[in-house]
């Protein structure tokens, strides 16, 4: 092999090794919702998929904060087949006199529930003593805001869940394939849904159009073509034909989109009502 060829191969190998090393050493950046956790080594380890076990109090706390956010958020990111973990919280109130002597003690017990993916049920039971419903906790706030920005199916939330799953020693089910044809004829959906909904449920075409528009966007996120077709044919009355799990998933996605007035789906709806002459 000539010197020039050996040199050329050596350069290629060096460049390739450098690229591989750079890729391996550069973790994905924290999403905006988690920027305030830049100094939180435990949460960053979960985000970077560097944690391989939940064996410290701080890691258990971080895991529970994530699970609580997934359960607490209106989007219902625990999924339709969630496992319900019952939680009892005991609080004791002590009354003392001016000399510090205890005058009375009153103990109250509060019953809570935590809903988690089946894959996280064992982790939740392991870390349940770290449960706290403090919605001002920095870790909880980060995950809650990430859900609000990405929804349950967002890739960044999935990345964080996968990091938690790795630490827990479990694997998450594959992401369901979404029918890419959903939403292609959203105007037709809104018109059909509105026709079926007004006046049976909503005696107002303008409100019917706006609600059907948001429902269509929620159904696209849900990703089930069969449910999408039922809603298009029967309007909001289709909810009566869904299983409770599917209805809960739809309602959660609908509520999240409906309340988010900055979401482009609302501007899309106003364009529709204007084009249809609904005022």
| Tally of structural domains, the chain | 2
Do the domain assignments include residue 242?
yes
The most distant pair of C-alpha atoms in the chain lies apart, rounded to whole Å, by 94
Do the domain assignments include residue 26?
no
Do the domain assignments include residue 107?
no
151 and 236 housed in the same domain:
no
Residue 113 phi/psi, 5-degree rounding, is -135, 145
Report the chain's mean pLDDT, rounded to a whole number: 83
**Cα–Cα distance between 65 and 75 in angstroms, integer?**
16
126 and 212 housed in the same domain:
no
Burial bucket for residue 260 (CB in 10 Å: 0-12, 13-18, 19+): middle
228 and 139 housed in the same domain:
no
Q: Beta 83-96 vs 102-116: how paired, if at all?
A: antiparallel
154 and 201 housed in the same domain:
no
Q: Which two tokens stand for residue 4?
A: 């020039």
**Cα–Cα distance between 40 and 33 in angstroms, integer?**
14
Q: What share of the chain is helix, strand, coil (3-state, %, to 5)?
A: 60, 10, 30
For residue 230, is pLDDT > 70?
yes
Do the domain assignments include residue 21?
no
194 and 263 housed in the same domain:
yes
147 and 44 housed in the same domain:
yes
Domain boundary among 110, 138, 168: 168
Position 23 scores a pLDDT of 42
Position 7 scores a pLDDT of 37
190 and 224 housed in the same domain:
yes
The per-residue pLDDT for range 32-62, each reduced to its tens digit, is 999 999 999 999 999 999 999 999 999 999 9
**Average pLDDT for 136-160:** 89
Output the CA torsion sign for 137, 140, 146, 149. negative
Tell me the pLDDT band of 81, cut-offs 50, 70 and 90: confident
Q: Are 214 and 197 in contact (CB under 8 A)?
A: no
131 and 251 housed in the same domain:
no
Position 225 scores a pLDDT of 87
Q: What is the pTM of this model?
A: 0.57
Do the domain assignments include residue 181?
no
190 and 259 housed in the same domain:
yes
Domain boundary among 168, 200, 227: 168
133 and 209 housed in the same domain:
no
Share of the chain above pLDDT 70, in %: 83
Position 179 scores a pLDDT of 56
233 and 196 housed in the same domain:
yes
Do the domain assignments include residue 154?
yes
149 and 202 housed in the same domain:
no
**Average pLDDT for 5-28:** 46
Per the structure, the complete domain to which residue 47 belongs is given by 32-82+119-168
Burial bucket for residue 29 (CB in 10 Å: 0-12, 13-18, 19+): exposed
Query: What HEC string does 122-169 produce?
Result: HHHHHCHHHCCCCCCCHHHHHHHHHHHHHCCCCHHHHHHHHHHHHHHC
Do the domain assignments include residue 102?
no
**Average pLDDT for 171-192:** 78
**Cα–Cα distance between 100 and 103 in angstroms, integer?**
9
Tell me the pLDDT band of 176, cut-offs 50, 70 and 90: low
């Amino acid at each position: 092999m000539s010197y020039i060829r050996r040199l050329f191969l050596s350069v290629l190998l060096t460049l390739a090794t450098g690229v591989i090393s750079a890729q391996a050493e550069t973790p994905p950046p924290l999403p905006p919702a988690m920027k305030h956790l830049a100094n939180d080594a435990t949460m960053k380890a979960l985000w970077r998929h560097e944690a391989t076990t939940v064996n410290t109090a701080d890691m258990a706390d971080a895991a529970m904060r994530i699970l609580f956010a997934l359960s607490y958020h209106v989007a219902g990111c625990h999924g339709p087949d969630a496992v319900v973990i019952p939680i009892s919280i005991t609080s004791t109130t002590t009354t003392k006199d001016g000399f510090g002597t205890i005058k009375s003690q009153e103990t109250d017990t509060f019953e809570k529930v935590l809903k988690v993916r089946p894959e996280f049920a064992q982790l939740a039971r392991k870390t349940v003593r770290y449960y706290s419903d403090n919605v001002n906790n920095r870790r909880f706030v980060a995950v809650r805001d990430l859900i609000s920005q990405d929804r349950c199916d967002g890739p960044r939330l999935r990345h964080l869940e996968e990091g938690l799953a790795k630490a827990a020693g479990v694997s998450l089910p594959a992401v369901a394939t979404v029918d890419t044809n959903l939403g292609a004829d959203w105007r037709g959906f809104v018109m059909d849904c509105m026709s079926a909904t007004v006046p049976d449920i909503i005696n107002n075409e303008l409100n019917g159009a706006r609600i059907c528009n948001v429902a269509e966007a929620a159904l696209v996120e849900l990703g089930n073509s069969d449910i999408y077709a039922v809603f298009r044919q029967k309007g909001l009355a289709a909810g009566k034909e869904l299983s409770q799990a599917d209805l809960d998933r739809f309602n959660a996605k609908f509520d999240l989109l409906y309340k988010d007035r900055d979401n482009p789906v609302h501007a899309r709806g106003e364009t529709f009502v204007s084009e249809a002459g609904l005022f």
